[in-house]
Homo-oligomer: A and B are copies of this chain.
Amino acid sequence: MTLSTTRQAPAPEILDRCRELVRPALVESVRRLHPWHAETAAFSLGWSGVDGDPVPGSQGKGVRQALAVLGAEAAGGSGRDGVTGAVAVELIHTFSLIHDDIMDGDETRRRRPTVWKAYGTGPAVLAGDALFALAVRTLAEVPGPTGTAAVGHLSGALGDLVHGQAQDLLFESRPWTGSEVVLPHEYRAMATHKTGSLLGCAAALGAVLAGAPAPVADALDRAGRHLGVAFQAVDDLLGIWGDPQITGKPVHSDLRRLKKTFPVLAALASEHPAARRLEALLTGPGPLDGAGVRRAAELVDEAGGRRAAVTEARDQLRAARSCLDGVELAEGARGDLLTLIPFLIDRTG
């Protein structure tokens, strides 16, 4: 027995459908760049290698473009209404990955060299700027009050995004103990800004471009922000306990780098005796050796940091869903969003 007359498409099908819808406009948009920037963008988007040849499997999931398309459909429009927004958020996402990799000094992404590693730091800074400028231009060209509202949403998200990146960078210089320790709620605020703002903006932009009233766009925006925190918490879990075969990073990589991730911060904030032992280990002299890193992972787990991160991700997903419950949305798109949300943070595949 089935309660619905239409089958709910599985998440990968939804992502594929959205990607196919957006792709021509994204290709067209990238063509407007200086040829050199277009090449860098194609590389960064996983469309081509350093030599220009396509590289299968190096594209992202296309989460943000899908949210923009579904946002438009949820607001009662057609997926096409969200395409301009999808292009803008994909361009911004690409820009932010390029600049992030410079800031973090990361040399690989999705098993390929990062843009600064492949093309040099200066060209990578500029390529990011070019994508940023193109994203703004793309929305600024949408005529009338709709375009104005769209630019407003994007510019707000951009402000939040760079704010979150600053918060994240500054966490690194904060101590592991004492009154200056990074608290879990500060981490949540950082992740909302750094990761959630663009996810929320993507869904809201789609809705705005489809002519949705402000409460619908705002609900989608808030859902995306919760999703961002969930996404970041899962990312942190994988950064410590993820399978290197799947993550492409060495085991415990975030602990080796002494990153202030949610599981560690949650562990340190707990009353469990393991928390004090973790504190002592992290504030000890010199970097952690292999045994130290393994011990730190055990202590984070013992002090409840791992469980706290799983709970955080679940709570944030639940909060994202309730944002959608609170407003009227087209049923098909609501179903697709509810299918997509848990899939997006399932990072095991």
Contact = CB atoms under 8 A, between A and B. Distances in A.
B158 A137 contact: yes
A129 B169 CA distance: 14
A156 interface: yes
A252 interface: no
A16 to B, nearest CB: 31
A136 B159 CA distance: 9
Contacts of A129: 99, 128, 132, 162, 165
Contacts of A161: 133
Contacts of A141: 152
B132 A159 contact: no
Central interface residue in A34, A105, A147, A152, by most chain B CB within 10 Å? A34
B130 A102 contact: no
- On chain A, which size bracket covers the interface? 35 or more
Interface in A125-163: 125-126, 128-130, 132-134, 136-137, 140-141, 144-145, 147-148, 151-152, 154-156, 158-159, 161-163
Interface in A98-124: 99, 102-105, 121-123
B122 A166 contact: no
A137 B162 contact: no
Given A102-B122, A102-B125, A104-B122, A155 B169 contact: no
Contacts of A136: 136, 151, 154-155, 158
Interface in A215-230: none
Contacts of A165: 126, 129
Nearest to A98: B125
Interface string A157-199: 0110111011101100000000000000000000000000000
A147 B133 CA distance: 17
Contacts of A144: 148
Given A151-B140, A152-B141, A155-B136, A126 B162 contact: yes
A133 B128 CA distance: 13
A36 B137 contact: no
Contacts of A169: 36, 122-123, 126
A122 B102 CA distance: 6
A87 to B, nearest CB: 14
A40 to B, nearest CB: 10
A37 interface: yes
A144 B156 CA distance: 17
A167 B145 CA distance: 35
A166 B169 CA distance: 28
Given A34-B166, A99-B125, A130-B166, 4 more contacts: A99-B126, A137-B155, A137-B159, A145-B148
